[in-house]
Amino acid sequence: MRYRLPFVAGLALGYVLGTRAGRDRYEQLKKSARQIAQNPAVRNTAESAAQQGRQFADKAYHAVSDKVGDRMPDSVAQRVRSLKERSGGTGGGDDWGTSAT
| 94 three-state secondary structure | coil
CA distance 93 to 87: 10
pLDDT-based confidence at 91, cuts 50/70/90?
A: very low
Query: What values do phi and psi take at 14, rounded to 5?
Result: -60, -40
* Confidence check: pLDDT of 28 > 50: yes
Least confident of 30-34, 38-42, 71-75, 89-93: 89-93
